[in-house]
Structure 1
């Protein structure tokens, strides 16, 4: 699900709403969210899939 990781929240959208929308857009699966227990954010480019940046 590489493309799902690159989703963005829309203006005024909560994290839970964005998770539901992005999951549905990328997989056509309708999900429900529970309480958010952890948020992790990465700023900057994503690591390459081929592992070239794995040691950074």
Structure 2
């Protein structure tokens, strides 16, 4: 899912999701391009929510 979809699912801003992914707090996968878009798995997002972040 895209960054925007992940943000909607987590009820956070897209900026929060990107910052969390960049620092490794949230698992995400960035395309190979230097400024590539991020993708997130629903199971990773749900796991993050269950851990109480």
TM-score over 0.5 for the pair? no
Structure in which a larger fraction of residues adopt strand: 2
Structure-1-length-normalised TM-score: 0.28
The structure with the larger Rg is: 1
Higher relative contact order (CA 8 A, sep 6+): 2
Structure-2-length-normalised TM-score: 0.29
